[in-house]
């Protein structure tokens, strides 16, 4: 069904294409560009193919299997939270890096999973038949019922398979997707952050780039090669497919392709939604996160223990924060709102040419605009609640414990929370976040908070926060353990001021979410009709569904670009650029002594370019977004040549509109990855596992 909605010919560069449709839509163009594989060699349900080597890493990244013993590569920033969770002041794997010299030294990572795609089946007709004409809660119920009916055979046939029905094209198409998840994942190695995160926030989203953004893990399975919980008896997983690794390198114009799990794009976003994204969502998040990040960074730089505790939290916050700043800048420079308005005018002109089109699509854009307007107040309050009061960690743990005191896993969750918690830092954050909420929304929206701050503390937020941390059992694990040991623990937790604050914030958030949801129903109905109309209007042109964290393939070429008049950025960087950026007084640009030694000696081994330099990163024109981090970048034979890890600053509006002249995927060259593993880390055993080709 979905193939009938979209073009049978596809242009290069732009597009996050569905793998089951490669034969019909893409392979001819890909082969003309330099791909030497068939569609069946890339994606097949009947035998092994490239897709069997690509995985969901954790809950928001991509990884690839590179050996017959389950060795896995992903980005350093994708493995960052796992590395942080294993780190301590005594064993600081973020600062120093880590290399397991034997399999026995590979470290289990609690809570980390790796997920393989098992099947991908078009079920559009079945879902439409079961839900036709239904809306709102009635539709939701019917969709849940048909989803359960469709997933049941997959999960019944194999207890290790999970399945879900996923909408595409705004609900105009549906696929049944089966997955197999492995939960015994072990940390094998990573460079120090001075290499894996070189340039940190300053270089994030920027080109030229010199970050060796990779980390190494291994998948373990039971003796029958099936998923299993961690056990010392588990063995390295024998995958259906492992990628070959090429040391040939890249040249400008080379065909390259990326397989992975892009998270979210909005290529059908209307002009009203662009304005909402820029003026509301991005604006609120940029300001609130920026204020919190100042506090976190100050404490992190002052205390090595706090730096470990908050490394992952800070990194996760700044990544989105800087992207939203770049997105708003690109919206302005590239005139995105007006370009979207022009698209809409063309659409309405097409609709007006036939009466039948007007009946199906005539109100679509008005419904979207009305939905955006109707949800504005609720959405604004939700954003401030999420980005301010919900960021107060004492409230987070209080809400977690209060909602699930009897959960057997609660003890472990509390251990993890307090391991990475600094009460003094949280106090500072709490004061600033409450101040922002008071100034932007008003404390009167939360009577409990208004009474505590205004009436009991004469409006002194700092005094309220000081009392909160003094009184609350959640200020430390010791105090909480003492309360939980009491016979009336449930009542004490319920009456704890941190739990009461958390509940008040959550109650308000859910109430406003319900308001936003009612407006959202009209918006989504309008959006579905608008997308359906776009599919009809552009029949015969290349179209693809928005990213939704399902496996996609994008392809293009290795290519330089010009960000502005008189400036040209080359398609690759080398280790020389690392040395040029070195600043020993700036934590973002410190270069390890060992790396400098190797550079001075030109000791690059087989990983050097033909001119003797060591490659660092390269760029290509593939269409990627968040979720593609860690995705394999492959040549025309399906060999691994790099890892995708970023987009470039000039195209931060790329989730909305693809910019072919500007948009680039930033990749770490696989030769730099192997050099750091082997020459810098001294862990050549990992390279020896791989199938290396030249």
Q: Are residues 291 and 207 in the same domain?
A: no
pLDDT, position 469? 97
State the CB neighbour count (10 A cutoff) for residue 54: 27
Q: Into how many domains does the chain fold?
A: 3
Residue 480 belongs to a domain: yes
User: Is residue 607's pLDDT more than 80?
Assistant: yes
Q: What is the mean pLDDT of residues 110-118?
A: 97
Q: Are residues 336 and 296 in the same domain?
A: yes
User: Is residue 268's pLDDT more than 60?
Assistant: yes
User: Is residue 3's pLDDT more than 80?
Assistant: no
Q: Are residues 213 and 351 in the same domain?
A: no
Sheet strands (E) in 5-108 = 17-18, 54-57, 61-65, 71-74, 98-99, 107-108
Q: Are residues 96 and 160 in the same domain?
A: yes
Q: How far is CA 528 from the centre of its chain?
A: 25
Q: What is the mean pLDDT of residues 92-114?
A: 97
Q: Which of 491, 513, 528 is the last residue of a domain?
A: 528
User: Is residue 460's pLDDT more than 70?
Assistant: yes
Write the pLDDT tens digit of every residue in 139-190: 999 999 999 999 999 999 999 999 999 999 999 999 999 999 999 999 999 9
Q: How far is CA 586 from the centre of its chain?
A: 27
Q: What is the mean pLDDT of residues 440-466?
A: 96
Domain that holds residue 361: 271-528
Residue predicted with more confidence, 536 or 543: 536
Q: Are residues 470 and 425 in the same domain?
A: yes
pLDDT, position 509? 97
pLDDT band at 7 (very low <50, low <70, confident <90, very high): very low
Q: Is the pTM of this model over 0.85?
A: yes
Q: Are residues 579 and 475 in the same domain?
A: no
Q: Are residues 666 and 582 in the same domain?
A: yes
User: Is residue 417's pLDDT more than 60?
Assistant: yes
Write the pLDDT tens digit of every residue in 18-71: 999 999 999 999 999 999 999 999 999 889 999 999 999 999 999 999 999 999
Name which of 253, 257, 230 is nearest 243 in CA terms. Answer: 257
User: Is residue 10's pLDDT more than 90?
Assistant: no
Residue 13 belongs to a domain: no
Average pLDDT of the chain is 95
pLDDT band at 543 (very low <50, low <70, confident <90, very high): confident
User: Is residue 542's pLDDT more than 90?
Assistant: no
pLDDT band at 136 (very low <50, low <70, confident <90, very high): confident
pLDDT band at 9 (very low <50, low <70, confident <90, very high): very low
State the CB neighbour count (10 A cutoff) for residue 466: 15
User: Is residue 6's pLDDT more than 70?
Assistant: no
Name which of 185, 162, 160, 168 is nearest 73 in CA terms. Answer: 185
Residue 547 belongs to a domain: no
Provide DSSP, 543-599: --PPP-SS-EEEEEEB--EEEETTEEE-SEEEHHHHHHH--TTSGGG---HHHHHHH
Q: Are residues 41 and 137 in the same domain?
A: yes
Q: Are residues 294 and 389 in the same domain?
A: yes
Residue 10 belongs to a domain: no
Beta bridge partners of 618: 572, 667
Provide DSSP, 82-145: HHHHH--SSS-HHHH-EE-SSGGGPEE-TT--EEEEEEEEE-HHHHHHHHTT--HHHHHHHHHH
Q: Are residues 70 and 140 in the same domain?
A: yes
Residue 258 belongs to a domain: no
User: Is residue 265's pLDDT more than 70?
Assistant: yes
Q: What is the mean pLDDT of residues 272-301?
A: 98
pLDDT band at 2 (very low <50, low <70, confident <90, very high): low
Write the pLDDT tens digit of every residue in 468-509: 999 999 999 999 999 999 999 999 999 999 999 999 999 999
Q: Which of 460, 494, 528 is the last residue of a domain?
A: 528
For residue 178, the surrounding DSSP H or E stretch is strand 173-182
pLDDT, position 8? 40
Catalytic residue numbers read 77, 213, 629
Q: Are residues 284 and 433 in the same domain?
A: yes
Residue 22 belongs to a domain: no
Residue 5 belongs to a domain: no
Residue 20 belongs to a domain: no
Distance in angstroms (rounded) separating the CA atoms of residues 165 and 146: 9
User: Is residue 664's pLDDT more than 80?
Assistant: yes
Write the pLDDT tens digit of every residue in 616-642: 999 999 999 999 999 999 999 999 999
Percent above pLDDT 90 for the chain: 94
Three-state DSSP state, 540? coil
Q: Are residues 514 and 569 in the same domain?
A: no
pLDDT, position 45? 87
CA angle 667, 69, 238 (to 5 degrees): 110
13, 185 contact by CB (below 8 A): no
State the CB neighbour count (10 A cutoff) for residue 151: 19
pLDDT band at 1 (very low <50, low <70, confident <90, very high): low
């Amino acid at each position: 069904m979905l193939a009938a909605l979209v073009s049978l010919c596809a242009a290069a560069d732009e597009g996050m294409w569905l793998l089951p449709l490669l034969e019909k839509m893409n392979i001819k163009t890909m082969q003309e560009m330099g791909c030497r594989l068939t569609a069946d060699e890339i994606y097949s349900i009947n035998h092994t193919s490239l897709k069997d080597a690509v995985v969901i890493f954790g809950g928001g990244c991509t990884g690839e299997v590179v050996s017959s013993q389950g060795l896995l590569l992903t980005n350093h920033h994708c493995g960052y939270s796992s590395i942080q969770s294993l780190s301590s002041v005594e064993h600081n794997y973020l600062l120093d890096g880590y290399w397991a010299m034997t399999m026995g030294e590979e470290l289990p990572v609690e809570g980390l999973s790796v997920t393989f795609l098992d099947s991908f089946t078009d079920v559009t007709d079945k879902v439409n038949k079961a839900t036709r004409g239904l809306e709102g809660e009635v539709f939701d119920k019917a969709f849940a019922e048909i989803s359960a009916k469709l997933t049941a055979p997959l999960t019944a046939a194999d207890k290790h398979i999970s399945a879900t029905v996923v909408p595409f094209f705004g609900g105009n198409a549906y696929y049944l997707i089966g997955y197999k998840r492995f939960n015994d994942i072990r940390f094998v190695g990573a460079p120090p952050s001075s290499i894996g995160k070189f340039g940190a926030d300053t270089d994030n989203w920027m080109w030229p780039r010199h970050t060796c953004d990779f980390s190494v893990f291994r998948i373990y399975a039971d003796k029958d090669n099936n998923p299993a919980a961690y056990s010392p008896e588990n063995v390295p997983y024998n995958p259906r497919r492992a990628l070959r690794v090429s040391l040939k390198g890249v040249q400008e114009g080379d065909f390259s392709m990326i397989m992975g799990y892009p998270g979210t794009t909005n290529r059908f976003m209307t002009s009203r939604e662009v304005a909402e994204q820029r003026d509301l969502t991005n604006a609120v998040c940029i300001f609130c996160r920026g204020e919190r990040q100042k506090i976190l960074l100050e404490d992190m730089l002052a205390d090595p223990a706090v730096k470990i505790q908050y490394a992952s939290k800070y990194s996760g916050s700044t990544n989105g924060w800087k992207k939203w700043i770049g997105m708003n800048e690109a919206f302005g420079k590239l005139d995105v709102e007006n370009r979207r308005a022009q698209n809409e005018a063309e659409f309405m002109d097409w609709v007006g040419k036939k009466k039948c089109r007007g009946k199906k699509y005539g109100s679509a854009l008005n419904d979207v605009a009305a939905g955006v307007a109707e949800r504005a107040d609720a959405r604004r309050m939700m954003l401030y609640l999420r980005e301010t009061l919900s960021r107060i960690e004492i409230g987070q743990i209080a809400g977690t414990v209060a909602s699930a005191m009897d959960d057997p896993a609660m003890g472990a969750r509390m251990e993890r929370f307090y391991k990475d918690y600094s009460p003094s830092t949280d106090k500072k954050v709490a004061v600033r976040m409450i101040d922002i909420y008071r100034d932007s929304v008003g404390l009167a929206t939360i009577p409990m908070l208004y009474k505590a701050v205004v009436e009991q503390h004469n409006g002194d937020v700092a005094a309220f926060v000081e009392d909160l941390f003094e009184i609350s059992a959640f200020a430390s694990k010791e105090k909480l353990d003492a309360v939980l040991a009491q016979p009336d623990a449930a009542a004490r937790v319920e009456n704890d001021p941190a739990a009461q604050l958390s509940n008040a914030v959550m109650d308000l958030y859910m109430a406003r979410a319900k308001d936003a949801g009612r407006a959202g129903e009209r918006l989504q109905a309008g959006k579905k009709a608008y997308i359906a109309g776009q599919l009809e209007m552009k029949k015969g042109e290349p179209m693809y569904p928005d990213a939704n964290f399902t496996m996609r393939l994008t392809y293009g070429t290795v290519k330089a670009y010009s960000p502005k008049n008189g400036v040209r950025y080359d398609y690759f960087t080398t280790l020389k650029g690392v040395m040029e950026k070195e600043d020993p007084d700036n934590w973002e640009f410190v270069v390890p002594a060992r790396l400098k030694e190797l550079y001075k000696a030109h000791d690059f081994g087989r990983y050097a370019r033909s001119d003797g330099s060591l490659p660092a990163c390269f760029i290509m024109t593939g269409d990627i977004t968040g979720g593609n981090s860690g995705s394999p970048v492959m040549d025309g034979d399906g060999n691994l040549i790099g890892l995708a890890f970023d987009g470039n600053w000039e195209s931060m509006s790329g989730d909305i509109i693809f910019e072919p002249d500007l948009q680039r995927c930033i990749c770490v060259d696989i030769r730099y990855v192997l050099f750091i593993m082997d020459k810098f880390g001294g862990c050549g055993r990992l390279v020896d596992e791989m199938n290396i080709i030249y």
